[in-house]
Amino acid sequence: MDATNRPLRIPPEMGVYAEKEKVFELIQKMMERLLLDRPEDPIQYLIDHLKNNNDEVPRIFLLGPLASGKRTLATMLCKQLNCIHLTMENLLSDETSALVAEAYLYKKKGQEIPSELWTKLIQEHLSKVDCIKQGWVIEAFPQTREQALMLQMAGIVPEHVVILDAPDNVLLERNPGKRIDPTNGERYHTAFDWPSDPVIQQRLVVPEGTSEEQTGKRLLDYHRNLSGIINSYSKIFKKINVDQPYVDAFAQVLTFVQSRHRNAAPHTPRILLFGPPGSGKSLQAALMTQKYGIVNICSGQVLKEAVAGKTKLGELIKPYIENKQQVPDHIVVKLLAEHLSKLDSSTRGWVLHGFPQDLEQARKLNDLRFVPNRVFFLDIPDETVFERLSLRMTDPVTGDRYHSMYKPAPSMKVQLRLNQNPKHAEENLKMRLDMYHANVQDLESFYEGVIHVNADQDPHTVFEYIESFTIKPLPKPVLQ
């Protein structure tokens, strides 16, 4: 960047680097932890924080009423995300901890463990290396607003709070079916999770608190405290209905905890639209431009404008277009680079379609540091392509487009003078489709995090889907 030239123009690669390396989010996370933990040596603390490289690890509270499936879903989450599962029971499992010994003194006296002590126990576990490196899921805590505030004051702030929800009558039916294995503390259910081993079946016992009266009291306490907990985590919680198969409930929970929250980082859309002919790339790009002011760059239109403007590159391109030959890639890339480097493209963002069409073109675009942050593939069946394009005609007098099925000509006179674009002839469409299918897999592999869109539906429905993935942060990658 040359500071002597006005106006100052920030090179596009600076924004690409900042977004790729998540510079803004990294600084924001560092400042958050610094203010929460208030270390004596801030510089060394930040160095250690960077070494841990754990900003993306899960930090989840999984809450819900009794019999809502907290243990089952928390166990599945930890297995999927490879993180540590903390429960009220295993918080008291460390016999060497002075805090655990203090907690057992309360239990021996038949007293409740104070919230302050629970907070210290959680803080002690979260300071261990496995929780720092892998992340954690805390099950069934906090249970009151007071406990939530204590955790916040101790610097324990989750990324996501999942609140399981089901009608009380469903929970009242589920709770009596609980069983517990006294030898290892494993939990089972007579209807949903019954062990196949007869030996385990015989030693299962009914846990405390499963009577109808006890269940009703616990549900009443839960509902009394729920609003306070929600107010404490109003920006990061989501209710999940668990009155459905647990596999479906787990899918919703997993989707939520892998989402990213909005932040104040500047976001400049850089969008690539791929799809077979007739998939609606031009229409979707136009809709994005109309609503958000993003620069619409169509490779075919850019070539025509260069020829019409009689630029130096236009003069090179003109013979190829006149002879209906493909313009060499290095010329197209150079022309696109001019448009992508302009100030409006760098500041407002861009949506590019029609290029690249194969892996080699994608690499050339990438080498110039024009890296998209959203890549959409508009998927439609080949039959739909033929239906959309082979029946499309143009009126040479008015320039209006008609379609034999969806928008027929208003009169026979107009119908007789309609012309078909040679590109839309069936043999040409088949050739273009074959070319697209030959390259689509390579392009999918080249770009990370591609998003497939069903384009065989109403255009505005397609636009809403593209829009949602454009303005929201992309989810975290699914861990295998």
CATH code for the domain in which residue 366 is found: 3.40.50.300
Confidence band (pLDDT; 50, 70, 90) for 434? very high
Residue 400 CA to residue 356 CA, distance in Å, equals 29
Position 6 scores a pLDDT of 60
Position 220 scores a pLDDT of 93
Residue 54 CA to residue 135 CA, distance in Å, equals 8
Confidence band (pLDDT; 50, 70, 90) for 8? low
Give yes or no: residues 70 and 21 share one domain: no
In a domain, 335, yes or no: no
Give yes or no: residues 29 and 69 share one domain: no
**89-93, 189-193, 351-355, 362-366: which has the minimum mean pLDDT?**
189-193
Residue 2 CA to residue 21 CA, distance in Å, equals 24
Terminus-to-terminus CA distance in the chain, angstroms? 42
Report which residue type is found at 101. Answer: A
Give yes or no: residues 349 and 225 share one domain: no
Number of domains within the chain: 3
Give yes or no: residues 283 and 234 share one domain: no
Give yes or no: residues 94 and 22 share one domain: no
Residue 239 CA to residue 163 CA, distance in Å, equals 5
Residue 342 CA to residue 105 CA, distance in Å, equals 70
- Residue 260 pLDDT > 50: yes
Kindly state the tokens that stand for 287: 């809709």
What secondary structure does DSSP assign to 301-357, as a single string? HHHHHHHHTT-HHHHHHHHHHHTT-PPPHHHHHHHHHHHHTSHHHHHH-EEEES---
Report which residue type is found at 39. Answer: P
Mean pLDDT of 86-106: 91
Give yes or no: residues 114 and 145 share one domain: yes
Is the Cβ–Cβ distance between 366 and 312 less than 8 Å?
no
What pLDDT, in 10s, does the model give residues 181-194? 888 777 777 777 78
Name the most confidently modeled range: 222-236, 258-272, 336-350: 222-236
Peptide bond into 142 cis (omega under 30): yes
Mean pLDDT of 296-324: 87
Position 2 scores a pLDDT of 54
Position 480 scores a pLDDT of 45
Give yes or no: residues 234 and 107 share one domain: yes
What pLDDT, in 10s, does the model give residues 375-384? 999 999 999 9
Residue 158 CA to residue 396 CA, distance in Å, equals 63
Give yes or no: residues 207 and 98 share one domain: yes
Alpha-carbon torsion, ordered 465, 471, 474, 475, to 10 deg? -70
Residue 178 CA to residue 172 CA, distance in Å, equals 11
Mean pLDDT of 141-155: 94
**13-17, 71-75, 400-404: which has the minimum mean pLDDT?**
13-17
Q: Which residues pair with 374 in a beta bridge?
A: 271
In a domain, 193, yes or no: yes
Give yes or no: residues 354 and 236 share one domain: no
Report which residue type is found at 262. Answer: R
Domain limits at 4? 1-43
Mean pLDDT of 200-226: 84
Residue 330 CA to residue 229 CA, distance in Å, equals 59
Mean pLDDT of 292-296: 94
3-state SS class at 137: strand
In a domain, 307, yes or no: no
Is the Cβ–Cβ distance between 391 and 464 less than 8 Å?
no
Q: Which of 169, 158, 199 is nearest to 182 (CA)?
A: 199
In a domain, 60, yes or no: yes
User: Comparing 150 with 391, which gets the higher pLDDT?
Assistant: 150
Mean pLDDT of 164-173: 90
Position 477 scores a pLDDT of 66
In a domain, 310, yes or no: no
Q: Residue 384, CB half-sphere, CA atoms under 13 Å: how many?
A: 15
24 burial class (0-12, 13-18, 19+ CB within 10 angstroms)? Answer: middle
Mean pLDDT of 306-312: 86
Kindly state the tokens that stand for 31: 């400042």
Kindly state the tokens that stand for 304: 């025509």
Give yes or no: residues 245 and 278 share one domain: no
Work out the percent of the chain whose per-residue pLDDT is above 90.
51
In a domain, 336, yes or no: no
- Residue 170 pLDDT > 50: yes
Q: What are phi and psi of 197, to 5 degrees?
A: -80, 120
Give yes or no: residues 74 and 215 share one domain: yes
CA–chain centroid gap for 205, Å, is: 42
Confidence band (pLDDT; 50, 70, 90) for 478? low
- The structure's pTM equals 0.77
Alpha-carbon distances of 236 from 59, 158, 457, rounded to whole Å:
11, 8, 33
350 burial class (0-12, 13-18, 19+ CB within 10 angstroms)? Answer: buried
Q: Which of 215, 111, 106, 103 is nearest to 168 (CA)?
A: 215
- Residue 405 pLDDT > 90: no
What pLDDT, in 10s, does the model give residues 63-95? 999 889 899 999 999 999 999 999 998 999 888
Residue 69 CA to residue 50 CA, distance in Å, equals 36
In a domain, 283, yes or no: yes
Q: What are phi and psi of 63, to 5 degrees?
A: -120, 165
In a domain, 324, yes or no: no
Give yes or no: residues 195 and 276 share one domain: no
